[in-house]
Structure 1
Amino acid sequence: MNGKTLKYGFTTGSCAAAAVKGAAQMLRDQTLIDEVDLHLPSGDTARFPLHGCRLTGKGATCYVVKDAGDDPDVTNGCHVHATVEIDLFTKHRILIQGGVGIGRVTKPGLALKVGEWAINPVPRRMIMEVVKEVFALRCVPATITITISIPNGEELAKKTINERLGIVGGLSILGTTGIVKPISTEAWTATVDTSVNVALACGSDTVVLSTGRSSELAAQLHLRDNGIHLKEESFVMMGDHFGYSLESCHLRKVPNVVVAGQFAKLVKIACGHRQTHVSSAELDLAQVAGWLKESPGLKHLEPLAREANTARHLLEESGFSQGLIDLVCRKAAETCETVAPGLPVRIFLAGYQGEKLYFG
């Protein structure tokens, strides 16, 4: 990006599994260690330094400092703790539980059942694998209890959409490959899928896909003021991933969809961009100018569209022309029909002061 090679990082799932492996080895050997090697689901092997290592009466504990690389992740630098305890001559089983800073699932539609700790399936499998690896030769029946915790997890979770998804009390232990890719499209689109699943599981018949927080807030305010009370789960932040998000709703047969954005983003959608951060504004505005040229009553805005610096500049200089707004929103609706044929979609245009400029 911009000539810089971005650094990959590790998921909370990898950090948890590495901490568990370290604690398990210390418990087995009754000696402290300072690092472990972990095989990741991606096929790679990574080395994790261990911190806070100590032995207890019937267990061991340590933590891994999460390194998210160059990904803008709120969990970067957090301490993922693992405590492994063993009770000999008891039922043969491995228990995985959450501690301080780990959330619990309270809504359906996630990969975990309601009531379970928010430790996702792949991290759970990674933890099970390292425990079985470390205690492979154990013959005495025993219960092994693994507790994962993140001391400031509850505070960090406030900066995520966990609560909206129904994960309360802390963070989730996540990851499918074990690796965090910088500015990960995969992570964002996976969140979109999960959010749509949760909305449907909570009984929502409408999903509002917004390009950003400002357009989401504007849509929430307008709908509420007009007697349309949607559940919190109905609002899904799609960011720049318009095409993927609409297809996600189409695949899951969402009954009604609202695409909410400010003018610049809707211009990009109107121009057919599935990713609203791609393509230059200059090319988009040239396309808008072409539409204006062919539109009765709007031809006078063509020169403005060709000279404007940005889409916002065009909107403001046009005096917030209702004809221009209607044209762009109609074209955006046509793109929605192309991307997801037959999906009922309405367009919501949010003004730059949080007002509604169009909804239809």
Structure 2
Amino acid sequence: MTSSGYTLPVWVAAAAVAAVQRLCGEAPLSSASPNVLLQLQPDAVAPELPPLVAVAVEGAALLGPDRALGISRCEPGDGLDLTRGLAVWVEARWTEPLPGESWLQLEAGEGVGVLAGSTELCVSAFARALLACNLQPLLPDRCGLKLRITLPGGRQLAQRTSNEAFGVVDGLALIGTQAAVQRSADPDQLARARAELVRRAADPALARDLVLVIGENGLDLAPSLGLPAPLLLKAGNWIGPLMVAAAERGVERLLLFGYQGKLIKLAGGIFHTHHHLADGRLEVLTTQAALLGLPLEQLQRLARAASVDEALRELAAEDGAAAQALQQQLAGAIEERSAAYVARHGQRGLRIGAVLFDRGRSLCAQGPGGAELLQAFRARDLG
């Protein structure tokens, strides 16, 4: 069994807290115990706050009367993770909050990803809330705070991710949606998701409906599209087993929500989607295009493309209607193959829909079931 470390937003929060503590006049961290205490569940409310957790930092120092620097280093736990050993620098300084502006301002330094065409730091709601809940209790009255986050080496590491394809440039995005690292291909991740299904089955408000989300980008995007957070469950790569487990636990309506370049595998009958086990995405795309009746020349170009997104972009440039029809064909095929997979495992009566987004984080296709369930789930009030 592997042990889990913390996601990048936790190490950013740890460095920020260390810096702000120095700004507030606290003594330098002891070399014997270089830790800060963090609240890792920003959505928890008093009086049921979980206990604080000690997170290691490398140090903090004053840079001037109103500026301080905190430094931490990423430790994501066992397993392969490109953030391992990544230094995190957070410079904190006091500001005077302007009317109508947040007391907390975030600025991207070197190695931190920003949204293409802007200087806006790419940060998830979880990462921002984690900073806010840990820093606000430290602030003097009527005082704001600006954090400049720097990830030395982050620009180079980002080249090994799909950030740029999702519209994030210049470095690593802070898009973690939870404190603990979860391995999408780790059997422990499947066990955790199954345990969460059991918990939800005991809640009448949640038991019938579920949104299986594939990937951190999907988990970050789904709430902004109106999908209720209590219905979201990160599937990682264990999509097939989780669909069956959901049916076994009494789920009646299941929405698959994810990036088209990942979910396309389901249209080819691949229900564990880690690339180490199976790929075949371009083959599935070409097959669906053939079933749609596209001409041989287009099929050959699709098959030779470097990726699903590139194939669809090139097809859209030539024939926009054909590209849109192919994406809709894929969404429908994902629904059909998924329903057949669940039925083969003895589970029937589960309504499955698929909603796909592209690397621009825009919805690009919905199957018949996906369109229906997206509208129905958006209308649910679970607040």
TM-score bucket (shorter structure): 0.5 to 0.7
2:276 equivalent to 1:207: no
1:283-336 deviations in Å (ceiling 9; x for gaps)? x9xxxxxxxxxxxxxxxxxxxxxxxxxxxxxxxxxxxxxxxxxxxxxxxxxx9x
Name the % identity. 20
Per-residue deviation, residues 148-169 of structure 1 (Å, max 9, x unmatched): 2211111111222212221111
Paired position in structure 1 for 2:214: 189
Q: How does 1:220-299 map to 2 (within 5 A)?
A: 226=300, 231-232=309-310, 255-257=328-330, 272=341
Alignment of 1:1-360 (within 5 A): 4=1, 6-29=2-25, 31-33=27-29, 34-41=34-41, 43=50, 45-57=52-64, 58-87=66-95, 91=98, 93-106=103-116, 116-135=120-139, 138-139=140-141, 141-182=142-183, 183=186, 184=189, 189-191=214-216, 193=218, 207-208=260-261, 209-210=264-265, 211=273, 214-216=279-281, 226=300, 231-232=309-310, 255-257=328-330, 272=341, 339-340=352-353, 343=367
The residue type paired with residue 153 of structure 1 is: G
Normalised by the length of structure 1, the TM-score is 0.54
Larger Rg, first or second structure (1 or 2): 1
Assess if the C-alpha contact under 8 Å between 1:10 and 1:178 holds in 2: yes
Q: Is the 8 A contact 1:19 1:80 kept in 2?
A: yes
| Alpha-carbon distance change, 339 to 86 in structure 1, aligned in 2, over 3 angstroms | closer
RMSD: 4.5
CA distance in 1, matches of 2:124, 2:220: 15
Q: Could you tell me whether the CA contact under 8 Å between 1:71 and 1:181 is conserved in 2?
A: no
Q: Where does the alignment leave 5 or more consecutive residues of structure 2 unmatched?
A: 45-49, 194-211, 226-258, 266-272, 290-297, 314-326, 355-365, 370-383
Question: Secondary structure at the residue paired with 1:177?
Answer: coil
Aligned residues: 245
The 8 Å contact of residues 39 and 134 in structure 2, kept in 1 or not, is answered as no
Q: Counterpart amino acid of 2:60?
A: C
Amino acid at match of 1:45: L
CA displacement at 1:234 relative to structure 2: 6.5
Gaps of 5+ in 1: 108-113, 201-205, 236-253, 261-267, 275-283, 285-334, 346-360
Structure 2 CA distance for partners of 1:340 and 1:144, relative to 1, 3 Å:
closer
1:62 Cα offset (Å)? 1.8
Q: Is the 8 A contact 1:23 1:61 kept in 2?
A: yes
Query: Aligned partner of 1:94: which letter?
Result: L
Deviations 1:173-197 (Å, cap 9, x if unpaired)?
1333311134346798233736997
Task: Describe the shift of the 1:12–1:195 C-alpha distance in structure 2 as closer, same or farther (beyond 3 A).
Answer: closer
Instruction: Output one character per residue of 1:85-120: Cα deviation in whole Å (capped at 9) or x when no partner.
Output: 124x6747321122111111239xxxxxx7631121
CA distance, structure 2, for counterparts of residue 127 and residue 49 of structure 1? 16
Tell me the SS of whatever aligns to 1:10: coil
